[in-house]
Chain A
Amino acid sequence: SRKRDFNRSCSLFCVLQESQSFAVNMFKGQISTTQVFPFPSVLNEDQSTFLRELVGPVSKFFEEVNDPAKNDTLEKVEDHTLEGLKELGAFGLQVSTELGGVGLNNTQYARLVEIVGMHDLGVGITLGAHQSIGFKGILLFGNKQQKEKYLPKLASGETVAAFCLTEPASGSDAASIRTTAVPSSCGKYYTMNGSKIWISNAGLAEIFTVFAKTPVKDVKTGEVKDKITAFIVERSFGGVTHGPPEKKMGIKASNTAELYFENVQVPAENVLGEVGGGFKVAMNILNNGRFGMAAALSGTMKGVIAKAVDHAANRTQFGNKIHNYGVIQEKMARMAMLQYVTESMAYMVSGNMDSGATDFQIEAAISKIFASEAAWLVTDECIQIMGGMGFMKDAGVERVLRDLRIFRIFEGTNDILRLFVALNGFQNAGNQLKSLQKALKNPLGNAGLLAGEITKRAKRKAGLSTGLSLQGSIHPELAHSGDLLPYQINHLTYVCFADEQFVLHRVADCAIDLYAMVVVLSRASRSLSQGHSSAQHEKMLCETWCIEAHDRIMRDIKFLKSGSSKQIFKNLRAISSAVVENGTVVAPHPLGM
């Protein structure tokens, strides 16, 4: 059942009592600032200088060699471009230098991935499917032999990798996959059978991280259960074939195809991680790569905003440049805020990861949800600002919008991730409704209060305008959250389990807004402390965001508290049932025909 799987994922990510994660603590009604204040600054001078040297050549390559329109039309990355990327070293950014990679940490990787995102998401997915998830399992879970055997060629791009989890009958419900890997009697190899769909790089890859069900004997009970195991599969093992490239709405340059495994013999040494521990491997790989998406999309947004600005600043209608009109101004401001939040989240998460944090899964999920939705909105508004021009292929923006749609779907649909955020935040989100109900009461209330407090601090002139580090003004005061009046949500009833998702979705929205607030407060605060010339502008972005986020959170909580919410959920459920039963909309045509 779905609930069992959620609980399984929760227990797999069982957050320790001492978690430093802001999101985890926020749900407990506490404020943990360790990971969020001050804004992480994890690069030492050497790493910073090195990164700066890399930005130029990578940007130049994407400006001068890569042709995104061509890649989109051809529905593949041009050969010379792919070769150029391999020569550039772009295929092994996070592989250690000893094994032939560039040895970048997450923050440095994020900065480069921003450039790719700004220019060509199709190429971005080709590279990301290869290194961000394709062979990330080897980086995270591989033993010495596996790393030395596979990473050098993967780093140079001689071999390309792909991440193979999804099946025709298993998307979000990843635990239900049916590809099998049966151990041989001698124990030296596994025989793999099954098929995967929608695998990025399936047509190009040589090395596959494949998830399959293997029979595992429970040591204590002797019972044999099918559990997921991760394998490194080489195309050269024989029996691996792929289908034709899928025709897609966007990221057309990225190869997406079906994969078939027919009696593939996989050596036992190619088990990645533990036998039966594959689900954890999969979730960790996805979790580990998520910050990359936020980074890439913050780059995409920057590029698209520049196009919108260029148009608004030069287009004259009704006697004025259109950027003088309020409607356009609101669009531009909102686009700038969304980009600022996304960028801040990306580097907050990557900074936390580089500082050694291990419990960042909620924040990573939040950053993926936020980035993918923000990028869609920003690009959509860019087209709107550009008017008819935005709709034209030549302007280059419609391609970006098409490319972006998949980002709300793959690597964990935003719908699933929202449920994950809400449930995961409630640590040990029990098997019983009761404890869940109880857990939801306080944290939600305190989260609302927290939102109020944070906004209060943001509004207080003294704190921000004098550039005092928010760490000084926020930290000690907010640490006394316990003193704050409990803001009980007494009437948060959801007796029916079915209501849970309606509630959780909204709880997740609040959590996302809260994390977004904290992230921009931290970043703006740092800019003010450092006396950046842009600090006052950032303060404005921050304040505006926080005020509106606070309003949204309060509105959501009020709604959840209200009596009408139960009725609304009931209605939503009834409407959906009727439509499903009818096969289409139910209301008869207004004309009676």
Chain B
Amino acid sequence: MAARVLVGVKRVIDYAVKIRVKPDNTGVVTDGVKHSMNPFCEIAVEEAVRLKEKKLVKEVVAVSCGPQQVQETIRTALAMGADRGIHVEVSGKDYDTLGPLQVSKILAALAKKEEASLVILGKQAIDDDCNQTGQMTAALLDWPQGTFASEVTIDGDKIKVIREIDGGLETIKINMPAVVTADLRLNTPRYATLPNIMKAKKKKIASVKPGELGVDLTSRLEVLRVEEPAQRQAGVKVETVEDLVGKLKEAGRI
């Protein structure tokens, strides 16, 4: 199967960082904060690389949208085994308002341009938790989608996807080309080894602007305000059950 896989990777604030809201409540503090590849994107890259190692796929192309710094994220994908990268340059205000709709338009355009047979994405990003990009990309391309994948098997020109759903697991078979989004149990991503990071330096990252792909980045959403969750109020101890009932009535809960 001479298939090309496109993998989307997003640069997000590292999961271990304590998030702080900016004083002007327009967003969260990102300056000087540790960033890394979205964990679900790591799983997506790992799956793509494994498919290549099984010789089911010919080439893995890693894509990221954002300013200069996202190249680090693409390099991590290259160190994990992706063959080349594409950096879609988005910065400033456009980057602030970049969301699933814009990214899926970009990915759809690239999937066509690169003649990809498979697009693998993380199911959601840990910063916005949108869980929309994969679904929108498939819709824009009019391709089948296998989302929340915990197992992916390529069988000829079809893909068997086992999906994690509320009731348990669902197995579907979809035609290629298709979009798959990775869930937690799909695989355990490999550690990038130092020699692979070195080899990744030689792999190419092409830069492209959204305009060149015919994509309009205008956002339909406007962030009005970002706030921390309300501080948890201290509880109150009561002596008797009557007191408890009284307090609950006072608070209008019963």
Q: B36 touching A89 by the CB < 8 A rule?
A: no
- Are B76 and A53 closer than 8 Å at their CB atoms? yes
The answer, among B76, B193, B197, B201, for a CB contact under 8 Å with A87, is B193
CB neighbours of B198 from chain A (8 A): 50, 97, 102-103
B75 CB-CB contact with A under 8 Å = yes
In the complex, are the beta carbons of B75 and A53 less than 8 A apart?
Answer: yes
Contact stretch, chosen from A56-64, A255-263, A335-343, A559-567: A56-64
With known contacts A50-B201, A53-B75, A53-B76, A90–B194 Cβ distance under 8 A: yes
Contact status A57-B72, CB under 8 Å? no
Chain B nearest CB from A112 CB (Å) reads 9
Is A88 within 8 A of B193, CB to CB?
A: yes
- Once the chains are docked, how many angstroms separate the CA of A57 from the CA of B79? 10
Interface positions of A from 97 to 130, Cβ below 8 Å from B: 97, 100, 102-103
Q: Point out the residues of chain B lying under 8 angstroms from A97, CB to CB.
A: 198
A57 to B194, CA, bound (A): 8
Closest to B37 in A: A56
Q: Which of A67-116 contact B (CB under 8 A)?
A: 84, 87-90, 93, 97, 100, 102-103
Residue B226 at the chain A interface, CB threshold 8 Å: no
Q: When each residue 44-85 of chain B gets 1 if its CB lies under 8 Å from chain A and 0 otherwise, what string results? A: 000000000000000000000000000010011001000000
Q: How far is the CA of A60 from the CA of B195 in the complex (A)?
A: 16
Residues of B within 8 A of A88 (CB): 191, 193-194
A109 vs chain B, min Cβ distance (A): 12
- Asked if B29 is an interface residue, CB under 8 A from chain A, the answer is no
Residue in A closest to B201 when the chains form the complex, CB atoms: A50
Q: Which residues from chain B contact A462 at a C-beta distance below 8 Å?
A: none
Partner of B197, one of A57, A90, A100: A57
| Shortest CB distance A152–B (Å) | 12
Contact A53 B191 (CB under 8 A): no
- B140 is an interface residue with CB less than 8 A from chain A: no
**Cα distance, A88 to B79, chains bound together (Å):** 12
> A446: shortest Cβ distance to chain B, in Å?
43
B192 interfacial by beta-carbon distance below 8 Å: yes
Cα A102 to Cα B72 in complex, Å, equals: 19
Cα A57 to Cα B72 with chains together (Å): 13
CB distance from A562 to the nearest CB of B (A): 52
- What total of chain B residues lie within 8 Å of the partner, measured CB to CB? 13
> Is A54 in contact with chain B by the CB < 8 A criterion?
yes
| Residues in B75-108 with C-beta less than 8 Å from chain A | 75-76, 79
Number of interface residues of A (CB under 8 A): 20
In the complex formed, the residue of B with least CB distance to A60 is B191
Q: In the complex, what's the smallest C-beta–C-beta distance from B195 to chain A, in angstroms?
A: 5
Given A53-B72, A56-B36, A89:B195 Cβ within 8 A: yes
Contact with B along A41-65 (1 / 0, CB 8 A): 0000000001011101110110001
Q: Give chain B nearest CB distance to A64 CB in angstroms.
A: 8
CB of A157, distance to nearest CB on chain B (Å): 11
By a CB distance below 8 angstroms, the chain A residues around B72 are 52-53
Residue of A nearest to B34 (CB): A56
Which chain B residues lie closer than 8 Å to A50 at the CB level? 197-198, 201
Q: How far, in angstroms, from A409 to B167 measured CA to CA in the complex?
A: 63
Q: How far is the CA of A52 from the CA of B36 in the complex (A)?
A: 12
B191 lies within 8 A of A57 (CB) = yes
- Least CB distance from A414 to B in Å reads 33
Min C-beta distance of B142 to chain A, whole Å: 38
B80's nearest neighbour on chain A, judged by CB, is A57
Residues A89 and B194 in contact, CB atoms below 8 Å apart: yes
Using CB atoms, name the residue of chain A closest to B192: A57
Chain B nearest CB from A46 CB (Å) reads 8
Which residue of chain B lies nearest to A64 when distances are taken between CB atoms in the complex?
B191
Chain B residues with CB under 8 Å of A54's CB are: 194, 197
Q: A53-B72, A56-B36 are in contact. Are A61 and B197 (CB under 8 A)?
A: no
State A97–B36 Cα separation when bound (angstroms).
Answer: 27
B195 touches A102 (CB 8 A): yes
In Å, the complex CA distance between A54 and B76 comes to 10
CA separation between A61 and B192, bound complex, in Å? Answer: 10
Contacts of A89 in B (CB 8 A): 193-195
Neighbour of B194 across the interface among A52, A60, A102, CB < 8 A: A102
A61 touches B191 (CB 8 A): yes
CA A28 to CA B191, docked complex, whole Å: 52
Cα-based distance from A57 to B200 in the complex (angstroms): 14
Considering the complex, give the chain B residue whose CB is closest to the CB of A102. Answer: B194
Closest to A58 in B: B194
Q: Which residues on A sit within 8 Å (CB–CB) of B36? A: 56
Q: A58 CA to B79 CA in the complex, in Å?
A: 13
User: Considering the chains assembled together, what is the distance between the CA atoms of A383 and B139 in angstroms?
Assistant: 59
What is the bound-complex CA distance between A87 and B36, given in angstroms?
A: 22
Chain B residue at smallest Cβ distance from A53: B197
Q: List residues of chain B with CB within 8 A of the CB of A60.
A: 191
Bound complex: CA A381 to CA B192 (Å): 37
Chain A stretch 539-564: residues in CB contact (< 8 A) with chain B = none
Establish whether residues A57 and B193, one from each chain, have CB atoms under 8 Å apart when the complex forms.
Answer: yes
On chain A, the residues within 8 Å of B79 by CB distance are 53, 57
Residues of chain A contacted by B194 (CB below 8 angstroms): 54, 57-58, 88-90, 93, 102
In the complex, which residues of chain A have a beta carbon less than 8 angstroms from the beta carbon of B76? 53, 56
**Distance of A53 Cα from B201 Cα, bound (Å):** 10
Contact with B along A563-590 (1 / 0, CB 8 A): 0000000000000000000000000000
Scan residues 440-473 of chain A and give those whose CB is less than 8 A from a CB of chain B.
none
The CA-CA distance from A467 to B54 in the complex, in Å, is 58
B-chain residues with CB within 8 Å of residue A58 when the two chains form the complex: 194
Assembled-state Cα–Cα distance A93/B195 (Å):
10
The docked-state distance in angstroms from the alpha carbon of A511 to that of B128 is 55
> Given the complex of chains A and B, what is the CA–CA distance between A102 and B198 in angstroms?
7
- Whole-angstrom distance between the Cβ of A313 and the nearest chain B Cβ: 14
Chain B: which residue is nearest A533 at the CB level?
B32
In the complex, what residues of B have CB within 8 A of residue A100's CB?
A: 195
- Report B11-50 CB contacts with A as 1/0, cut-off 8 Å: 0000000000000000000000000100000000000000
Closest B residue to A46 by CB, please name it: B201
| Chain A residues in 8 Å Cβ range of B192 | 56-57
Least Cβ distance of A57 to chain B in Å?
A: 5
Which residue of B has the minimal Cβ distance to A156? B195
What's the nearest-Cβ distance from chain B to residue A63, in Å? 9
B214 → A minimal CB distance (Å): 32
Q: How far is the CA of A30 from the CA of B32 in the complex (A)?
A: 41
Most buried by B among A58, A84, A88: A88
Closest Cβ of chain A: how far from B4's Cβ, in Å?
25
Residue of A nearest to B200 (CB): A53
Query: Which residues of B sit under 8 angstroms from A52, Cβ to Cβ?
Result: 72
Q: How far is the CA of A102 from the CA of B201 in the complex (A)?
A: 12
- Report chain A residues within 8 Å CB of B201: 50
The smallest beta-carbon distance between A91 and chain B, in angstroms, is 10
Contacts of B191 in A (CB 8 A): 57, 60-61, 65, 84, 88
List, in ascending order, chain B residues with CB within 8 A of A87's CB.
Answer: 193
Alpha-carbon distance between A57 and B190 when the two chains are bound, in angstroms = 10
Task: State A93–B193 Cα separation when bound (angstroms).
Answer: 12
Could you jot down 20 A-B contacts, CB within 8 Å?
Answer: A50-B197, A50-B201, A53-B72, A53-B75, A53-B79, A53-B197, A56-B76, A57-B192, A57-B197, A61-B191, A65-B191, A84-B191, A87-B193, A88-B194, A89-B194, A89-B195, A93-B194, A100-B195, A102-B195, A103-B198
Given contacts A57-B194, A58-B194, A88-B191, 12 further A-B contacts (CB under 8 A): A53-B76, A54-B194, A54-B197, A56-B192, A57-B197, A84-B191, A87-B193, A88-B193, A89-B193, A89-B194, A97-B198, A102-B198
Q: Which residues of B contact A (CB under 8 A)?
A: 36, 72, 75-76, 79, 191-195, 197-198, 201
- The 6 tightest CB contacts between A and B, nearest first, are A89-B194, A89-B195, A57-B192, A102-B194, A88-B193, A89-B193
